Structure 1
């Protein structure tokens, strides 16, 4: 039985006349030995070939799951396991657990990617109009079978057979599995009632207007702003004009950010905040959004696995990770189904308890609200103070109320606070930190390094500020990146359990949305309770897979609802 199935666009060893006509090339391996010569796959054959091979459960190896898998899903083929070269490449580049092989050194010597989407998340090259077949690919050297095989061997060789190496191997597997889950959720889509969405928009904004014109209720507010600010020609969408009008009215605003406006006292503030809220709704999830993103009664975003440097997911278009409460009622289960929405309660502080091996913090989390547990142990039962202190410790908010409360947190939970403080000091000094499984934070930029060579008092102040900023990043990186690993394991365990139930004849529904520590399933109504039990069991299994046996609970809150608006 093949252990690996390596998929590529073409093979450089094939005659050009043969390779040019093929849609893909496939090489099977029994361990490290080829199970035969490369197989050319022609137009329309790949989904059937994949389905036949899946009976033997190989691990597929491909340059980009996000590129290959959506087309296979559309044709009805599902993959169980994969090794995604592009995702693994991103991890190995920064991981301190990877061996310093020539391959890894070459990755680290290349300039870091510019801000924006990582390379693996960028759209694939445009297929020529003469390559119109479903699975035809541009034939470039990087996508050849020989290149894929060489990089796969290099990546495996970079993972040592040590405890850190075994953890790193789990991370590579989980990240690759995440790519399968992301593609499947994108194909499934969130059930979405466009009529409900339109009704919500009409209630908030008024009837639809031609493109380029303000919705009626926004125009009413704009007129009110002009009157209150005595500025008849004001365009409230122009920050520069708005600030000038505020200043003329004697309002000392330095920006139009919500938090700053809320601190000001003037009759214009309430309608201005309302205008800004409606403007965000109209531009982000308005009528045009429904036209662009809702097809066949589903919202199908494109998730970007590892799109955030900590390993959290991002999304490309559609705002899948920022669905506002205003429109959540449009996410509705179809007839005979319900939405099962689960979120991991207070995930990051629980992760911190494990990383720091802080027995008192673990005890605070056991079987109860973690923040209340912290409050009972160190803050006289004041939950609000306990939450402010813990979030301040993890995110570096060490001034103001957080700064005042942090010493008490450190006295009560010294190991937990010591861990994040050490991570902050490492970052401030220009060092890198790692997650539990070995995802590394990137090195500071060349500009940051230059900023630390101060030659004046003013430059030194700027250098210190830059160092503190990096310290806040590394302080949170160790916790947030490990939380992302737990979430990947949770999704992977849940996917495995759902697939196992389906193989036994019970369809427990589909995963349709994921948001950092929250997952949504669309489930036949009669199986809702069983799906909820699988979600809870998968959370426990994820903790066991990641950490082994630890005295920290990872509870999940579950809501079984018809509308997403009722989940929280």
Structure 2
């Protein structure tokens, strides 16, 4: 496969290295160049997909493959099976501090600093050498390809946006908060709740948004609590609790998805958040802005498909337990995973007496539960599923010893590291503190291997689904069925209504293909829960059908 690298040059120019030949292209001609080469199926190599791909999408150009050097370098520097010294070069310091572009960046070319003109072809050669020298080259190669495909998906989802009905959103805010307040003021219904809290606590000057003030007022009212979390407050009996919990809920809505949020992130009937692929250490995504990974229940009715279109919402049933079965090669657990409910499969297998026991035991193993009912379940299930439970236990022991662990495809978790002088002194004075620190890291490393491999499966799923959706229509990305939302184990596809059933089938086929790609030696079922709805708020509800009434006020 031909690789074409693109490097930014001063003066609104681009250096393209195509099959070893260098071409200098004017920025104004870049879209035409990419469009002309894309039918040959190259892999585009660039420093950051979030910088290069959006302008191409705006020009109506979709690329099938890329290699994101920023993400690749980040991954290879931490991968236990890769020799990071092969990435060292004169520009290494600048590559290491390269950060993803965000929507606020003014253009493809920003200030002329040290990270603006890094040679993509040279870094690509270094990364390919590091992969080729690895004893696990095929796995690392797959991980790099999946990571880069995820970056393409992220850019496309920001480009197409989630269909968003501003009229419905404003109606929902009005019903729950009252009319839009002046800048810097609380909405009237939120202020009314604040008044109830002040009255119940006999604190007329209280600002309920201030944690220190709120803790002080609660203590003066005889309520001793360590924090003001909702879970803590629910255990308290006091007249202030009910209005306070409601206040905190609506204050969160106001600050995270209120009028100011809509002004910034909703344009032309689309919510366009900014995603950050591999934004967390496990490979899961995070958000660069807009709260991309969260659709609060209160505002979901505003996510409404276009006329003649619907949403296909698909999520994977019990992703991480299925991933654990596959990566450990535990055939007994894989057998229990055949079907839509792995936990019930464990009951039918005779491993436990109830579905709840199965869930407690399996989640306890992945998250490090060692006491109580969950701990007892873990002990019994370890004998029944030794490969699966042994894998997470081994990861936990490695973490406790200060060692790094890795996912199935080779993403590395940094080791606990050498203790600082302060840590050493603390450990000598309080050995129990050091023990707690290592056990805590062991719980993290135990979950890292499963959660990280689950993220790898999800990347393979959306990468394949993206291409399947492209083949269902014609025209630019937004004219065909396309992904508009992705969260760990759930996708939302915006599709013409007449293709909805086909999209459901393709999502299922892509899930099966991702499982076969990662777990070649063991057949693992990845069943999907799917809904076809007009509004995202209806996903998962029984009886929801395309064409449901979303008229404001109904």
TM over 0.5: yes
Change beyond 3 A, Cα 1:49–1:111: closer
Counterpart contact for 1:190–1:298, Cα < 8 Å: yes
Unpaired runs of 5+ residues, structure 2, are 541-554
> Paired residue for 1:294?
266
Distance 1:224 1:353 in 2: 52
Give the corresponding residue for 1:481. 452
User: Any stretches of 5+ residues in structure 1 without a counterpart?
Assistant: 11-19, 128-133
1:80-113 Cα distance to aligned partner (Å, 9 max, x none): 1111111100010011121354426999x98998
The answer to whether the aligner puts 1:422 opposite 2:421 as a matched pair is: no
Which residue number corresponds to residue 231 of structure 1? 203
**Is residue 462 from structure 1 mapped to residue 433 from structure 2 by the alignment?**
yes
Distance verdict in 2 for CA 1:486–1:240, change over 3 Å? same
Please identify, of 282-291 and 161-170, the stretch whose mean Cα deviation from structure 2 is larger. 161-170
Q: Which position in structure 2 is the counterpart of 1:24?
A: 14
Structure 1 position 103 matched with structure 2 position 103: no
Distance 1:161 1:69 in 2: 30
Cross-structure match for 1:564:
536
**SS of structure 1 residue aligned to 2:180:** coil
- Give the C-alpha shift of residue 534 in structure 1: 0.6
Q: Which residue of 2 aligns with 1:334?
A: 306
**Alignment deviations for residues 251-291 of structure 1 (CA, whole Å, 9 cap, x no partner):** 12111011111112222212111111111111111111111
Cα distance in structure 1, aligned partners of 2:179 and 2:188? 7
Q: Which residue of 2 aligns with 1:516?
A: 488
Alignment of 1:109-508 (within 5 A): 119-121=98-100, 123=102, 135-136=108-109, 138-140=111-113, 142-144=115-117, 147-160=119-132, 164-377=136-349, 380-445=352-417, 448=419, 450=421, 453=424, 458-502=429-473, 508=480
Q: Distance in 2 between matches of 1:530 and 1:341?
A: 13
**Contact 1:336-1:524 at 8 Å conserved across structures:** yes
Q: Are the structure 2 counterparts of residues 243 and 379 from structure 1 closer, same or farther at C-alpha, using a change threshold of 3 Å?
A: farther
Counterpart-to-counterpart distance in 1, 2:450 and 2:266:
35
Q: How many residues align?
A: 539
Change (3 A) 1:544 1:504: farther
Q: Say if 1:374 and 1:271 are closer, same or farther in 2 by CA, change over 3 A.
A: farther
Structure 1 CA distance for aligned equivalents of residues 436 and 89 of structure 2: 31
TM-fit CA distance, 1:525 = 0.5
**TM-score for both structures, normalised by structure 1:** 0.89
* Cα distance in 2, alignment partners of residues 292 and 105 from structure 1: 40
| Contact 2:366 2:447 survives alignment (8 Å) | yes
User: Structure 1 residue 143: deviation in Å?
Assistant: 4.4
Is 1:89 the equivalent of 2:73?
yes
Root-mean-square deviation (CA, aligned residues, Å) is 2.6
TM-score after normalising by structure 2: 0.91
- 2:31 paired residue number: 47
* Contact 2:404–2:413 (CA under 8 A) maintained in structure 1: yes
In structure 2, do the counterparts of structure 1 residues 421 and 543 end up closer, same or farther at CA, with 3 Å as the change threshold? same
Residue equivalent to 2:548: none
SS of alignment partner, residue 18 of structure 2: strand
CA deviation map 1:109-167 (0-9, x unaligned): 98998xxxx8433549966xxxxxx654555565447x222211111010136662111
Q: Is the 8 A contact 1:23 1:136 kept in 2?
A: no
C-alpha separation in 2, matches of 1:233 and 1:505: 56
> Residue by residue, what CA displacement relative to the aligned partner does 1:419-438 show, whole Å, maximum 9, x if unpaired?
11110110111101111110
SS class of match (2:66): strand
What is the CA-CA distance between 1:452 and the residue it aligns to? 5.8
Corresponding residue number in structure 1 for 2:63: 79
SS in structure 1 at match of 2:473: helix
User: Do the aligned residues in 2 keep the contact of 1:305 with 1:311 (CA within 8 Å)?
Assistant: yes
The 2-side partners of 1:225 and 1:173 are apart by 53
